[in-house]
């Protein structure tokens, strides 16, 4: 283990290490703690310039009720779910099929197709922006949840296929061969042999894609204009514009908006990190 | 890569051709959507960059005029310069992430919770992080102002309204989640460092920097590679923070290519789609260098397998 395990150091070092971790953690999380604190402040605190100290009055209920009552945040959150969940399902479905094909079959263009997905995944969004916006306009999908979902599915399929393909590659090949010898059709092999084995990859990908899409801001601003379809990231930006000096309300909105991916992260931490760090240990 | 054994030959056409056709059936949906929404738009943007188009009327072909205009566009160079600042600033996330990972790579009570809390900023939307950091820099009530004041420094700058400081201010906000990302990559890498090599080196008297540099870092190379890739790509993709914190201001001094392109193409003063796509095309070719670099490495790994 590196660095040297702290248990082998003197008591003094150990104690100071144990004290340093939480202190550094608080400093590190200060920006997030600040939002949380501001979201429960009263307006008086902000008027008197108490932005960073302890709140003098706690207005948890007032602020959060105000956010829910006076702003379309419920609509925004709902839109975010309507965008995120179909995207996860769509991208996972397409990439399972594609990842399977790229591993199990050897055909001429195999590596080329694979590289298309990997390379496309890294292009700057801006090179796609104008054509994708035009395409959505001409399909009548501009400013709709469906239009945004279709783009997200397509783009995320690149990364997901990369991920699925590498995961399937590491499964034992004999399983597929054995099934074939027993006369199983290719579709049956996919459905009954491979699909049950890629569940861990599906779990990792779904939490990752959920978080990525939930936090997407660029495409929300490019493809959506109105409140009726705006996800919460774009919604927060417009709330911030409307309530320039009411930090406590914008903070409460931010906390609400940040909740779903935070909950998903804490519930499925292991899968999330496994997905994010794929490839960090070998290669 | 090697193929899995062919099924025994049978008479029917389907069973003979099955293994040639089936892969394309599996691949078709993914390839179709990816081609429509990702691959084709790249070429459409490139061709659009040769036109003058307001997004409504008929595009008119103007050859390389958009690129000629870019060549003399001072704002373009400001954006380009800011991209360079972003790139180098962002790269700090790699060593800082490594440092935090090394610090946290211990087995004491509660360390797992601490690790996931350190990772927290990455999970939260950049919109939220951008908002907090703009409050942090607020010249009358921001924490930065209070802190400097506490140390007796009174002539503070309004970071986000200063043409000299604004980009650095936003880069620091962008670093916050990026450091968390690099940290988690290194923590995973450190988990898999071979204990026997460390012990052997320790017996030979290696420790501290020598150990880190000679024994540990070489084993962390995959993590370093991914950290560099995601950080470089992330820096070139920087858009959210700029849009949230300054909208490119003051006077366009915090724009990067990605933001400048967006502003030109969809500006409130009239759309200039052709000019926007010309900027995007340049950004694409910058990125292409990295994409080729990444693909080459993946190709080499494939060959070794």
Domain boundaries, chain B: 13-48, 65-304
Average pLDDT for residues B175-189, to the nearest whole number? 94
Chain A residues in contact with B265 by the CB 8 A cut-off are: 129-130
Query: What does residue B261 show for φ and ψ, rounded to 5 degrees?
Result: -60, -50
User: Which of 107-146 (B) contact A at CB < 8 A?
Assistant: 107-111, 114, 116-121, 123-129, 131-133, 135-136, 138, 140-143, 146
Could you tell me if A89 lies within 8 Å of chain B, comparing CB atoms?
Answer: no
User: Are A218 and B239 inside 8 Å of each other by CB?
Assistant: yes
B164 min Cα distance to partner chain A (Å) = 24
Is domain A71-276 in CATH 1.20.1730.10, yes or no? no
Query: What does residue B108 show for φ and ψ, rounded to 5 degrees?
Result: -115, 165
Q: What is the pLDDT of residue B10?
A: 52
Average pLDDT for residues B185-211, to the nearest whole number? 87
- Written as six digits, the tokens of B235 are 């820096």
List per-residue pLDDT tens for chain A, 283 residues long: 778 888 888 889 889 999 999 999 999 998 888 888 888 888 777 777 777 778 888 888 888 988 888 889 999 999 999 999 999 999 999 999 999 999 998 888 999 999 999 999 899 999 999 999 999 999 999 999 999 999 999 999 999 999 999 999 988 888 888 998 888 888 899 999 999 999 999 999 999 999 999 999 999 999 999 889 999 999 998 888 887 777 888 889 999 999 999 999 999 988 888 888 876 665 4
Report the phi/psi class of residue A87: left, alpha or beta, with left for phi > 0 and alpha for psi in -120 to 50: alpha
Residue of A nearest to B14 (CA): A185
pLDDT band for B33, please (50, 70, 90 cuts).
very high
What digits encode the pLDDT tens for the residues B67-114? 999 999 999 999 999 999 999 999 999 999 999 999 999 988 889 899
What's the 3-state SS for chain A?
A: CCCCCHHHCCHHHHHHHHHHHHHHHHHHCHHHHHHHHHCCECHHHHHCCCCCCCCCCECHHHHHHHHHHHCCHHHHHHHHHHHHHHHHHHHHHHHHHHHHHHHHCCCCCHHHHHHHHHHHCCCCCHHHHHHHHHHHHHCCCCCCHHHHHHHHHHHHHHHHHHHHHHHHHCCCCHHHHHHHHCCCCHHHHHHHHHHHHCHHHHHHHHHHHHHHHHCCCHHHHHHCCCCCCCCHHHHHHHHHHHCCCCHHHHHHHHHHHHHHHHHHHHHCHHHHHHHHCCCCCCC
- Written as six digits, the tokens of A39 are 């979201």
- Written as six digits, the tokens of B243 are 């849009």
Could you tell me if B177 lies within 8 Å of chain A, comparing CB atoms?
Answer: no
Q: What is the pLDDT of residue B149?
A: 79
Res. B152: pLDDT tops 80: no
Query: What does residue A114 show for φ and ψ, rounded to 5 degrees?
Result: -60, -45
**Looking at the partner chain, which of A105, A155, A236 has a beta carbon nearest the beta carbon of B127?**
A236
Chain A residues in contact with B30 by the CB 8 A cut-off are: 94-95, 97-98, 117, 157, 161
Is domain B65-304 in CATH 1.10.12.10, yes or no? no
Res. B209: pLDDT tops 90: no
Query: What distance lies between CA B246 and its chain's CA centroid?
Result: 20
Of A130 and B156, the structure prediction assigns the larger pLDDT to A130
User: Which of 28-47 (B) contact A at CB < 8 A?
Assistant: 29-31, 33-34, 36-42, 44-45
Chain A residues in contact with B302 by the CB 8 A cut-off are: 111
Of A142, A123, A224, A131, the C-alpha closest to B59 is: A131
- Mutating which of B10, B30, B145, B198 best tests the A interface, going by the most A Cβ atoms within 10 A? B30
Which value does ipTM take for this structure? 0.90
Of A220, A235, A230, the C-alpha closest to A133 is: A220
């Amino acid at each position: 283990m590196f660095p040297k395990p702290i248990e082998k150091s003197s008591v003094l070092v150990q104690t100071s290490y144990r004290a340093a971790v939480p202190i550094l953690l608080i400093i590190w999380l200060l920006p997030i703690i600040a939002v949380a604190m501001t979201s429960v402040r009263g307006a008086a605190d902000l008027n008197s310039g108490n932005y960073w100290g302890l709140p003098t009055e706690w207005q948890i209920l007032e602020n959060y009720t105000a956010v829910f009552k006076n702003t379309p945040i419920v609509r925004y959150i709902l839109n975010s779910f309507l965008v995120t969940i179909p995207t996860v399902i769509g991208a996972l479905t397409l990439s399972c099929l594609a990842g399977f094909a790229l591993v199990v079959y050897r055909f001429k263009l195999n590596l080329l197709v694979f590289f298309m997905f990997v390379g496309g995944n890294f292009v700057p969004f801006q090179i796609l922006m104008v054509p994708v916006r035009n395409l959505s306009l001409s399909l009548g999908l501009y400013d709709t949840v469906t239009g945004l979902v279709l783009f997200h599915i397509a783009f995320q399929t690149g990364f997901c296929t990369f991920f699925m393909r590498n995961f399937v590659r590491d499964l034992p090949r004999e399983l597929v061969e054995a099934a074939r010898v027993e006369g199983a059709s290719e579709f049956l092999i996919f459905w009954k042999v491979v699909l049950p084995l890629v569940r861990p990859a599906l779990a990792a990908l779904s939490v990752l894609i959920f978080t990525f899409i939930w936090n997407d801001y660029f495409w929300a601003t490019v493809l959506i204009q109105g409140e009726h379809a705006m996800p919460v990231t774009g919604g927060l930006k417009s709330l911030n514009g409307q309530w320039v000096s009411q930090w406590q309300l914008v903070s409460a909105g931010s906390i609400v908006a940040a909740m779903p991916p935070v909950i998903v992260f804490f519930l499925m931490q292991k899968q999330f990190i496994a997905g994010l760090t794929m490839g960090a240990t070998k290669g | 890569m090697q193929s899995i054994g062919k099924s025994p030959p049978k008479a029917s056409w389907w069973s003979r051709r099955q293994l040639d056709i089936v892969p394309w059936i599996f691949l078709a949906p993914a390839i179709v959507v990816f081609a429509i929404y990702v691959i084709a738009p790249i070429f459409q943007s490139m061709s659009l960059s040769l036109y003058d188009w307001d997004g409504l009327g008929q595009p008119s072909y103007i050859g390389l005029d958009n690129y000629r205009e870019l060549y003399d566009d001072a704002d373009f160079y400001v954006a380009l310069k800011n991209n360079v600042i972003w790139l180098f600033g962002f790269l700090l996330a790699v060593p800082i992430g490594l440092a935090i990972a090394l610090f946290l790579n211990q087995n004491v009570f509660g360390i797992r919770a601490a690790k996931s809390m350190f990772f927290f900023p990455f999970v939260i939307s950049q919109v939220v992080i951008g908002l907090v950091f703009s409050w942090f820099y607020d010249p009358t009530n921001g924490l930065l102002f209070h802190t400097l004041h506490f140390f007796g420094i009174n002539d503070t700058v309004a970071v986000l309204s200063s043409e000299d400081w604004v980009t650095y201010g936003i880069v620091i906000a962008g670093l916050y989640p990026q450091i968390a990302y690099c940290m988690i990559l290194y923590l995973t890498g450190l988990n898999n460092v071979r204990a026997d090599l460390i012990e052997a080196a320790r017996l030979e008297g290696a420790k501290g920097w020598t150990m880190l540099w000679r024994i540990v870092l070489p084993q962390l190379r995959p993590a370093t590679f991914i950290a560099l890739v995601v950080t470089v790509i992330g820096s070139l993709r920087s858009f959210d923070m700029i849009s949230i914190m300054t909208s490119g201001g003051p006077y366009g001094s915090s724009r990067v290519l990605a933001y400048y392109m967006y502003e030109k193409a969809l500006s409130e003063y009239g759309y200039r789609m052709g000019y926007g796509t010309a900027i995007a095309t340049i950004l694409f070719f910058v990125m292409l260098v990295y994409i080729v670099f990444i693909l080459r490495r993946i190709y080499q790994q494939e060959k070794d397998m």
